[in-house]
Amino acid sequence: MAGNSFGEVFRLTTFGESHGDGVGVVIDGCPPRIGLSPKDFVRDMARRRPGRNSIVTPRSEEDRVEILSGVFEGLSTGTPITLFIRNRNVDSRPYEILRQLFRPGHGDYTYFKKYGHFDFRGGGRYSARETAARVAAGVVAGKILEPSGVKVMAYTIELGGIRAGSIDLEFAEENPFYCPDPIAAERMERALAKAREDSDSLGGIAEVRVTGCPAGLGEPVFDKLDADLAKAVMSIGAVKGVEIGAGFEAARHKGSENNDPITPNGFQRNRAGGILGGISNGDEIILKAAVKPVPSIGQQQDTVDREGRPAKLKLTGRFDISPLPRIVPVLEAMVRIVLADHYLRSRTMK
Amino acid sequence: MAGNSFGEVFRLTTFGESHGDGVGVVIDGCPPRIGLSPKDFVRDMARRRPGRNSIVTPRSEEDRVEILSGVFEGLSTGTPITLFIRNRNVDSRPYEILRQLFRPGHGDYTYFKKYGHFDFRGGGRYSARETAARVAAGVVAGKILEPSGVKVMAYTIELGGIRAGSIDLEFAEENPFYCPDPIAAERMERALAKAREDSDSLGGIAEVRVTGCPAGLGEPVFDKLDADLAKAVMSIGAVKGVEIGAGFEAARHKGSENNDPITPNGFQRNRAGGILGGISNGDEIILKAAVKPVPSIGQQQDTVDREGRPAKLKLTGRFDISPLPRIVPVLEAMVRIVLADHYLRSRTMK
Amino acid sequence: MAGNSFGEVFRLTTFGESHGDGVGVVIDGCPPRIGLSPKDFVRDMARRRPGRNSIVTPRSEEDRVEILSGVFEGLSTGTPITLFIRNRNVDSRPYEILRQLFRPGHGDYTYFKKYGHFDFRGGGRYSARETAARVAAGVVAGKILEPSGVKVMAYTIELGGIRAGSIDLEFAEENPFYCPDPIAAERMERALAKAREDSDSLGGIAEVRVTGCPAGLGEPVFDKLDADLAKAVMSIGAVKGVEIGAGFEAARHKGSENNDPITPNGFQRNRAGGILGGISNGDEIILKAAVKPVPSIGQQQDTVDREGRPAKLKLTGRFDISPLPRIVPVLEAMVRIVLADHYLRSRTMK
Amino acid sequence: MAGNSFGEVFRLTTFGESHGDGVGVVIDGCPPRIGLSPKDFVRDMARRRPGRNSIVTPRSEEDRVEILSGVFEGLSTGTPITLFIRNRNVDSRPYEILRQLFRPGHGDYTYFKKYGHFDFRGGGRYSARETAARVAAGVVAGKILEPSGVKVMAYTIELGGIRAGSIDLEFAEENPFYCPDPIAAERMERALAKAREDSDSLGGIAEVRVTGCPAGLGEPVFDKLDADLAKAVMSIGAVKGVEIGAGFEAARHKGSENNDPITPNGFQRNRAGGILGGISNGDEIILKAAVKPVPSIGQQQDTVDREGRPAKLKLTGRFDISPLPRIVPVLEAMVRIVLADHYLRSRTMK
């Protein structure tokens, strides 16, 4: 009801604020006897960590995941798994200005309109910090999917208008932008450096591919697999657009071009992005997310204060230049969460 | 759980199949004392009706909405409102072929994989026929929003690659394509005629605008207003992409271009599409939906039968050439449903 | 949210009023390929039917169940099953008095306070008529449980203070009171006749036994099997008390008397009523429901009108003398519904 | 789905085990701007604390509530409130025996059947320890109800067969048994001492009264106020029976005795227990809970091990003799939680 839970069977509730004690998640519905230990979270939390490269805030977050409940002697028990990630070295003083002024492009204005009272420090509840809890939950979701061979991988196909021209998934893992194209990666780096000089920020597009997903996941009508994926992806702060398979290009295709012919060996092409009638068809699931530039920029901007009076705001400090590399593991996490949920849901229909 | 319900407070459950008794919806959570009679549904049901113009199936559906429960002496009672739309003149014989063969681009294949047993006649549960129930529910949602002055309007901005160059909302209401540009409308008509000749089909893009929406609707984190809108829109069969505000263009904007400056008189521009941090900001809400071409085409296509053996399928009969004009009222309905739900949800947080 | 749905996986939403078009239920979450036809409902609907014997209203209701959706060629499809039971021969004129006066013991007063506007004819939405939809849904739940050998049986152990002294379940099926004791059944009949003469009504106690329930159904903490059963049973209009196993007697037991010793062949006794820690233990599940007398009586009663002015109310017409025989199949239905739901839920935890 | 959440609008999810890091609760749906600080929890946590008197385990639990999220500068923010209560001084060694043997009357057996793997230390997830999180959540619920003047009070009306003969609510607050009758309290003390000598345990009955509840809370049909109260109360581990108002006595009343006549000044009596048709009528809400004796006793008991082989179990250590005094604040908490939820739900129907 109040929007902090997601999923039906594999159901998570995140909590916490950017400058409070920490952020966390309670996962209810994880089956028992799944191996889980704090070290399982290290890789994904590191992938999301700011300071991982030059384009994201170098705030030193350890992002160590504590398992507060639901795991006994290394195995899940079927009861709620609580994961908590403490905030460290948080200095809230720079945010005092937000007690009065709304940052353009952020949720300050709407939170004030909705709640009247909110924790504005560093974005509080609507900070990207909340996604740390999602990434942690995504690790558990991944454990559920693992035995079925489902693999989820995201990468940056566009940043600051620079498009990846080739897809090398191994390279994507190795470079700080999760860009699958070495040449584009270099150009992205330069574009980010330029944006930093200009006190500006950049957006981009990420793509997610799911391999090994069995046919039959997804519910008809409202909880279509693509509908739930669209919600999951759009629920990430900076995302402004979602495409499944051919996406907006499908709008320009003819039916004869857009239908994927079926053969005894599977589909002849994959314009559908692996989903038909809201249900996975066994082919690769492909989706794209459009990510807006980080709204926190060093340039002076017009805004108003809480009383509606005009004001100028110039943010100081160090901000991410683009949400993109950090959003990549969050996208992977959300897609895993949706798939784990639908995987467990599908068992009720056998 | 099984995917046929939507919304938290204003909660609807649709039921029914294309060639069964009819399709319907139970709405639980509609407040009492809202005026409602069968005639309230006439306009919207007619807008969605096939046969309304030359590009959609001329199946003669009256689509009269029966109110089976929840209304007493012309007013809602606060108990479940059940709306039922009987199927008429349904001839299921042409669909017997689907007992064996899967139509490319449709849900036949995935329904078979998921359920083993399904009503394949005319798409059964995954037929566009189901959206008649959504349109009916959208009328009730509209009644809830009406006193607040919220208005939702959708139209076709692109069809078969032809883009509307101007936006005349009155004209959009008058022409069979809901196209807001008279010149584009003519070209769309020709493109549709050409596609029909070619036994092919066309996709397009629809846009939805919401005026009068107060600031403060939407929940943070997962049930963001844009996330719920994305799910609602993507849950419509033919939709493959969703954009909020600047959408994929935002990915190429710089932060300084993409942030909407705030002034005492509101936002200076509306790249955000009326939503910040998942909550409405009081500005116009703007979203776009990419619609794929109708998968039913008269050309011969490769497919397989239920045993996986290769087959050729050539559909006969009359099909819609594009989902687009019919999807416009469905989009309006789904957006109204999301807004009515969040409007009622917002009352719990006062 | 608005209270008309029940269950998580096997989820039903009932709708309809006593004097409207009919009552019905949408069941979402029933697995596919379960055989279902209108004749499956005949026995249970007849058991619940008023007029079945001399103590319940002889309103001639056929209570024929129409399957409006979700069944194709005799098998469930996994999509929503809609069951509808038309109201017949309903004469609403006797209820005009309720436009002004509240009947003591009924929901008239509270519905008016809650909604301001409600369908008061024959109790409208809070009429026992609504339970016809539950009985229909219970038939579907029974089909899900059948292959596992789960059997649910309810009977009257007390009526008007007369207690059954012996339990003969076959006899319980044969007599109009569902009383398992032939001697008590005769005394109950006389007590009911006496109450009718006095223009009064009687309450009683029903017991439900579940055999064949496997160990492991139920969730810990809030959705304990006994907690969900308590809710299901208390959600039936006339029920004022629920006991699991020893119930209120357990309050007077010592621990050494109340613990059921465990042996290699099962539990040595069954004070627990088949549930430990909220989860079924494989033993018989036993619960009792206290049922208040029918509030509609022919005696003059004090009440007020909608403006709060004092009034006298003397109901005329024919009413049930006791809710008891009719409530027995409703109890069975609700218990089946809870079990089918938890049975399907348990699959997600494997 | 997995049973650890409760409530629709005021929705809580508890987590944690008896011998893990601690127990906690995430509350989603608490409105913003409600004053909340750690000291608000002190009184209720102390009331529930073992060691408060001679009849409950003297394990030294401080039960200090940490607010991990959702409160900023002393006020709730409308985002999830996370409350955490650390476990202290937990010695798990005495529980090693439970790795093999099931304790009669506890959930050991059923948890093993359901999950195969569970944290058996001190009852783990099904320990009464979990109720500490409920009591903490009940404090927040109380804050929501406070401005409306709703007051919830529970007390012990029977313990070990000794019934309170008079109701002095002030005295109930002062004595360790929450017994409202000084004479009965003394006898209860002796009965508990005797049971301890006998290495046995006692059950009892608690009563809850709610004053100041407005008419109109509760939903019809399934989420009746009494149905939700019954579930809430039965979800507390040791509860085996629930009565609303006259409860099982209503089964022996005649309609003329059981109907509460309505007058311009309210109801003439309160057999209904303040609820009609599932909705509060403005009168006092009264319910009773039957509590079984603590299953942990010092006597030798028959049981089996995980392989089903017969075994003898004699528990050592100190256990509560009766769940009763400790359950009283838990009952109050659960009733407050149900009322706060329905209070917020009722706002959506205005």
Q: How would you classify residue A306: left for phi > 0, otherwise alpha for psi between -120 and 50, otherwise beta?
A: alpha
Kindly give the confidence (pLDDT) of every residue in chain A, 350 residues in length, as a single tens digit, with 9 standing for 90 and above: 899 999 999 999 999 999 999 999 999 999 999 999 999 999 999 988 755 444 455 444 578 999 999 999 999 999 999 999 999 877 888 788 889 999 999 999 999 999 999 999 988 999 999 999 999 999 999 999 999 999 999 999 999 999 999 999 999 998 999 999 999 999 999 999 999 999 999 999 999 999 999 999 999 999 999 999 999 999 999 999 999 999 999 999 999 999 999 999 999 999 999 999 999 999 999 999 999 999 999 999 999 999 999 999 999 887 899 999 999 999 999 999 999 999 999 999 98
Model pLDDT for residues C192-247, shown as the tens digit of each residue? 999 999 999 999 999 999 999 999 999 999 999 999 999 999 999 999 999 999 99
Q: Taking CB atoms and an 8 Å cutoff, what residues of chain C touch B125?
A: 77, 79
Reading the block at residue D60, the tokens are 């030294």
Which of A29, A32, A349 lies closest to C32 in CB terms?
A: A349
Q: Kindly state the tokens that stand for C208.
A: 């439900």
**pLDDT class for C58, splitting at 50, 70, 90?**
very low
C-alpha dist (Å) from residue B180 to B96, B155, B157, C243, D155: 40, 7, 7, 65, 69
Q: What is the 3-state secondary structure (H, E, C) of C220-244?
A: CCCCCHHHHHHHHHHCCCCEEEEEE
Q: Cβ separation of B118 and C77 shorter than 8 Å?
A: yes
State the Cα–Cα distance between residues C121 and C19, nearest whole angstrom. Answer: 6
Q: Which residues contact A93 (CB under 8 A, 6 or more apart)?
A: none
Interface ipTM: 0.96
| Burial of D42: CB neighbours in 10 Å, binned 0-12, 13-18, 19+ | middle
Quick one: pLDDT at residue D247?
Answer: 98
Q: How far apart are CA A234 and CA B242, in angstroms?
A: 9
Q: What letter represents residue D106's amino acid?
A: H
For residue B254, the 8-state DSSP code is B
Asked if the Cβ–Cβ distance from D3 to A118 is below 8 Å, we say: no
* CB-based contact B46:B40 (threshold 8 Å): no
Using the structure block, give the residue that is written with the tokens 């039916």.
A255
pLDDT of the residue at A58: 45
Check CB contact under 8 Å for C28 and B4: yes
CB contact under 8 A, C259 and D301: yes
Which residues in chain C have Cβ-Cβ distances shorter than 8 Å to B22?
A: 68
Whether residues D117 and A24 touch (CB distance < 8 A) is answered with no
Candidates D5, D14, D23, D26: best to mutate against A (most CBs of A within 10 A) is D26
The token duo for A300 is 């002076």
CA-based nearest residue in chain B for residue A280: B110
Q: Which chains touch C (3 or more CB pairs under 8 A)?
A: A, B, D
Q: What are phi and psi of B82, to 5 degrees?
A: -110, 125
**How far does the CA of residue B82 sit from the closest CA of chain C (Å)?**
7
- Please give the pLDDT value at position C284: 98
Task: Give the per-residue pLDDT at B62.
Answer: 74
Q: D224–C234: do the CB atoms touch at under 8 Å?
A: yes
Interface test with A, best of B12, B231, B296 (most A CBs within 10 A): B231
Helix, strand, coil distribution of chain B in percent, nearest 5? 35, 25, 40
- Cα gap D192→C49, rounded to integer Å: 51
Asked whether the beta carbons of residue C350 and residue A347 sit closer than 8 angstroms, the reply is yes
The C-alpha of A343 sits at a distance from chain D's nearest C-alpha, in angstroms, of 14
Q: Does the reported pTM lie above 0.95?
A: yes
D3, D260, D278 ranked by CB distance to C105: nearest: D260
Phi, psi of C248 (to 5 degrees): -65, -25
Say how far apart CA D55 and CA D49 lie, in whole Å. 11
Low-confidence ranges of chain B (pLDDT < 50): 52-55, 58-60
* B116 neighbourhood in chain C, CB within 8 Å: 32-33
Q: How far is CA D289 from CA A34, C1, C273, D186, D327, in A?
A: 38, 26, 16, 22, 10
Instruction: List chain C residues with CB under 8 Å of B38.
Output: none
Residues of A in contact with C32 (CB under 8 A): 349
The 10 Å CB-count burial string (b at 16+, else e) for B251-269 is: bbbbbbbbbbebeeeebee
The whole-angstrom separation of Cα D275 and Cα D225 is 7
Measured between beta carbons, the chain A residues lying within 8 angstroms of D76 are: 117
Tens of pLDDT, residue by residue, chain D (350 residues): 899 999 999 999 999 999 999 999 999 999 999 999 999 999 999 988 755 444 455 444 578 999 999 999 999 999 999 999 999 877 888 788 889 999 999 999 999 999 999 999 988 999 999 999 999 999 999 999 999 999 999 999 999 999 999 999 999 998 999 999 999 999 999 999 999 999 999 999 999 999 999 999 999 999 999 999 999 999 999 999 999 999 999 999 999 999 999 999 999 999 999 999 999 999 999 999 999 999 999 999 999 999 999 999 999 887 899 999 999 999 999 999 999 999 999 999 98
Residues A31, C348: C-beta atoms closer than 8 Å: yes
**Tokens of residue A224, six digits:** 């279509």
Cβ pair D328, B331 in contact under 8 A:
no
Contact check, Cβ <8 Å, D282/C235: no
Contact A11 D2 (CB under 8 A): yes
> Under an 8 A CB cutoff, do A221 and B14 touch?
yes
- Tracing tokens 């100041």 back to the chain, one arrives at D212
CA–CA dist D306, D302 (Å, integer): 14
- In this prediction, residue A68 carries a pLDDT of 98
What are the Cα distances from residue B331, in Å, to B44, B47, B155, B335? Answer: 12, 12, 9, 6
The pLDDT of residue C59 is: 47
Which helix (H) or strand (E) element contains residue A75? strand A75-76
- Alpha carbon of A342: minimum distance to chain C alpha carbons (Å): 10
- The residue in chain D having the minimum alpha-carbon distance to the alpha carbon of residue A121 is D72
Please tell me the distance in Å from D183's CA to the nearest CA on chain C.
19
φ and ψ at residue B163, rounded to 5 degrees: -100, 140
What lies within 8 Å, CB to CB, of D247 at 6+ separation is C240, C241, C290, D273, D288
The residues on D that touch B, with CB distances below 8 Å, are 1, 9, 29, 31-32, 78-79, 220, 344-345, 347-350
User: Is B104's CB within 8 Å of A262's CB?
Assistant: yes
Place of tokens 């206290």: C290
Q: Do the chains contact at C348 and A348, CB–CB below 8 Å?
A: yes
> Are the C-beta atoms of residues D86 and D22 closer than 8 Å to each other?
yes
Q: Check residue D104 and give its pLDDT.
A: 97
Under 8 Å between Cβ of C146 and D252? no
DSSP secondary-structure letter at B10?
S
Find chains touching chain B: ≥3 CB pairs under 8 Å.
A, C, D
Question: Please, which contacts does A95-99 make with residues 24 or more away whose CB atoms are closer than 8 Å?
Answer: A95/A19, A95/A120, A95/A121, A95/A122, A97/A313
Q: What is the DSSP letter of A312?
A: E
Rounded to 10°, the helix A324-346/A225-234 angle is 150
Rounded to the nearest 5 degrees, what angle is found at the Cα of A309, between the Cα atoms of A304 and A314?
A: 40
Phi-psi region of B265 (alpha: psi -120 to 50; beta: other; left: phi over 0): alpha
Query: CA-nearest residue of chain A to B236?
Result: A221
Contacting partners of chain A (3+ CB pairs under 8 A): B, C, D
Note the pLDDT tens digit of each residue in D8-63: 999 999 999 999 999 999 999 999 999 999 999 999 999 887 554 444 554 445 78
CA distance C133 to chain B (A): 13
Residues of chain C contacting A347 with CB distance shorter than 8 Å: 347-348, 350
CB contact under 8 A, B293 and A8: no
Instruction: Report whether C169 contacts C266 (CB < 8 A).
Output: no
Q: What is the pLDDT of residue D243?
A: 98
